[in-house]
Amino acid sequence: MRIWKTTAEWTIHRRTISGPTIGFVPTMGALHRGHASLVERCRAENDITVVSIFVNPSQFNEAKDLDRYPRPLDCDLALLDRLQVDDVLLPEAKDLYPHGYRFRIEADSLTKEMEASHRPGFLQGVMTVVLKLLNLVRADRAYFGEKDYQQLRTIAAMVEEFFIPTEIVPCATIREPSGLAESSRNALLSADARQKAAAIYRALTTSNNLQQAESLLQAEGLQVDYVEEHWGRRFAAAFLEGVRLIDNVPIAERK
């Protein structure tokens, strides 16, 4: 497994690759089974698998949230090595943003609700860094989990709009036995809170309407940010022990 710590080093290496298909999994680290499933699919469908680990400051609208984001780099690299990843990109912020955050991608209709409304600047930060990474890697395919469904839709639309020759591949959410969606933020929860957090999935799949889903979450002690329906899916965001958790399910799969 090759590790590239600067965009300059990676760019030189990328020029040597011609012919093999390249798959790409962009991450912010704190890797879990969900990330592993993306990597495994990427390896199955491409000759070369590239993974990036970069905690992107431009998508955090609160400094304390950025500071507390888990960064177990040694564990992440060990997992990627076991998964037989070919290349890992580990750029620093000053490398990806050498002149600061002076250019950013804006969107219209996709960035007016849910995460965009409750986390100002979040989707702009995601689109901007993903555009940079896609231009650097120039992959045939890039893999994104459906847990961050609004983010997935936004990136797919951006790629289409800017004629980027990378196929965006959606991958199903991986869940714990309780139903809790795998997330890097789960590591910030206590064992008790991790069990309570499974209420998000239950609320999304068993409630008859949005009001009932919100009431169920509040009864479990979660501070609800929103419960909404878009694109044939039901979404929720809520806080538990100060940790913001999100999830979504297709409406057709409600129990």
DSSP-derived letter for residue 141 is E
The catalytically annotated residue of 13, 35, 118, 230 is 35
| C-beta of residue 110 within 8 angstroms of C-beta of residue 154 | yes
| Cβ–Cβ < 8 Å for 148, 171 | no
Cα separation, 115 vs 226, in Å, equals 9
Active site residue 35: yes
CA distance 166 to 153: 14
Which amino acid would we find at residue 6? T
89: which DSSP letter?
E
Cα distance between residue 162 and residue 176, in whole Å? 36
Residue 144: helix, strand or coil by DSSP?
Answer: strand
Q: Which helix (H) or strand (E) holds 24?
A: strand 22-27
Q: Are 28 and 56 in contact (CB under 8 A)?
A: yes
- Do you know the residue count of the chain? 255
Burial class of residue 45 in the structure, from the number of CB atoms within 10 Å of its CB (0-12 exposed, 13-18 middle, 19+ buried): middle
Euclidean distance between CA atoms 183 and 45, whole angstroms: 24
CA distance 165 to 79: 29
Q: Which residues are catalytic?
A: 35
